[in-house]
Amino acid sequence: ILDVMGLAHVGKVLGEVRSSTHSIPGSHAEVEADCQKVLLFRCGDSHRLAVPLALVDRLEEFASSRIESAGQRRVVQYRGGILPLVQLGDHVESVRDYPPTAGDKIQVIVFSQGSTRFGVLVEEIVDIVEEAVTVRARGDSAGLLGSVVIGGQVTDFIDVRYLIGRIESEAVSSSSW
């Protein structure tokens, strides 16, 4: 069992966990509505994003020099295998790509479901908060569940299951000729 929050804190990837309560009224169907730990992060254009911490496998930080290419994909050697690295902008419509990190370190959120494992490149892991969140479904952007206010800032929730489906279909497409 991995203590993601403990490792993130020890690795100085983020600050202490904060607890607050916010929900957003609306007329759309509710997707999630309970107190949960949420990972906050940024990608491109300081876009503030979130995922439920329960869906995160690990938080990692890699030296830029460890990033390699396999086919047209960025990858890193990881735990005896190859971890594909994904930019959200390639899969989520409203997230704009950002230039590759020029620094020494790259932050990655690792997700896994069954045999599918991949890392999402992020500009910054902001925090982990415990929040009563009500995300209202919206259909205007594939890959997003909706937007909520967390800590006084509008935050878009990533649809991790959608993202996993996209990654799995890419893997099938690239392996079948």
pLDDT band of 36, cuts 50, 70, 90: confident
Q: What is the distance between the alpha carbons of residues 136 and 62, in angstroms, rounded to a whole number? A: 34
- pTM of the predicted model as reported, rounded to 2 decimal places: 0.75
**Mean pLDDT over each residue of the chain, to the nearest integer:** 77
Tell me which of 133 and 1 has the higher pLDDT.
Answer: 133
Residue 4 has pLDDT above 60, yes or no: no
Question: Residue 161: which of 93, 97, 92 has the closest Cα?
Answer: 92
Q: What is the mean pLDDT of residues 81-93?
A: 87
Distance (Å) of CA 144 to CA 30, 93, 139: 13, 8, 8
